[in-house]
Amino acid sequence: MSDFCCPAQLGYIGLEVSDPERWQSFATGILGLGVESTDEMLYLRMDDYAWRICLSRGSRDDLCLLGWEMRDAAALEALAARLTAKGIAVRRGDRDALNRRLVVDLIEFEDPNGIKSEAYCGPLIDRANPFRSPRQMSSFVTGDLGFGHITMTVDSLDRSLAFYRDVLGLRISDWVRPQPERGVESHVNLAFLRCNGRHHSLAFMEMKLPRRLHHFMLQVESIDDVGQTLYLCEDRQIPIELTLGRHTNDGMLSFYMQTPSGFSVEYGWGAREVDEATWTTQLHTNGSSWGHRHPA
């Protein structure tokens, strides 16, 4: 498939959370993100983009939105045409939607799991007001790679692959069979898909869990930020879901902490990037070369 209608990056996500006030403290004090609020939303900032994560109040405590950035208006129109040709309903974002997302244009659709999705072009870049973390730390690895990645469960691995790979145009980086070290007994594969040099912007597995979202990942420029954040979590009694470790596929050195909504944030450093000229799809039979254990 031509890269012309493939997303350039996973630009933003939306979360429905039951305790926005607690999330605001967590986002600034632990994750190091900036926060701006409106009557309806909390917007979390981590780079020159006006925002990367939006939080709306609700009872779900789960993922409610995926936002895919297209290179320009022509790429956005090409994707809209492809979605329509595949029988997927596409709605043009109205003025209110554009103002909420701070973009020039967008389309709205749903993935096979009922997740509200958007593709957009022309995000607001606020270099006149440079991002400064409320914590003493380095910067986040974003830019052309997007905000980070998410891992989620899907109703059908085959239907989700047919959508994200064959319609949206993402490319499979590799597969990981469920990890016995994490107590997963299912034979279902975990698929990792990319749209740029980041090893994966989206990973999913066919599994029934209380929430759709397993975790989202934030990557930092300095390994010291990972260590300092790990100890900050311990000092402030933020539950650690998986201890420090290194992943087999993307090489990320990271740990997982629990958010106020119950799903996790992976906080990491040092992930390898994909060279399209040489990359080959791989299979791994474990998720981590070391670490990433459940705390005792």
Q: How are beta strands 282-284 and 171-176 bridged, if at all?
A: parallel
Q: Where are the alpha helices (DSSP H) in the chain?
A: 20-26, 73-85, 95-101, 157-164, 223-235
Calculate ∠ Cα 276-280-285, nearest 5°.
135
H or E stretch covering 21? helix 20-26
Cβ–Cβ < 8 Å for 32, 137: yes
Walk along the chain (296 residues) and give the pLDDT tens digit of each residue: 444 579 999 999 999 999 999 999 999 999 999 999 988 899 999 999 999 999 999 999 999 999 999 999 999 999 999 999 999 999 999 999 999 999 999 999 999 999 999 999 999 999 999 999 999 999 999 999 999 999 999 999 999 999 999 999 999 999 987 655 555 555 568 999 999 999 999 999 998 889 999 999 999 999 999 999 999 999 999 999 999 999 999 999 999 999 999 999 999 999 999 999 999 999 888 889 999 999 98
DSSP secondary structure, 247-280, as one string: ESSS--EEEEEE-TTSSEEEEEE---B--TTT--
Of 126, 154, 155, 110, nearest to 52 (Cα)? 126
- Domains of the chain, each with CATH number or no CATH: 3-123 (3.10.180.10), 143-291 (3.10.180.10)
Which one, of 115, 140, 160, lies nearest residue 13 by Cα?
A: 115
CA separation for the pair 173, 210 (Å, rounded): 27
User: What's the order of all strands across the beta sheet hosting 240-247?
Assistant: 282-284, 171-176, 190-194, 202-206, 149-154, 213-219, 264-269, 253-258, 240-247, 288-291
The amino acid at 83: L
121-160 burial, b for 16+ CB within 10 Å, e for fewer?
bbbeeeeeeebebebebebbbbeebbbbbbbbbbeebeeb
User: How much is the pTM?
Assistant: 0.95
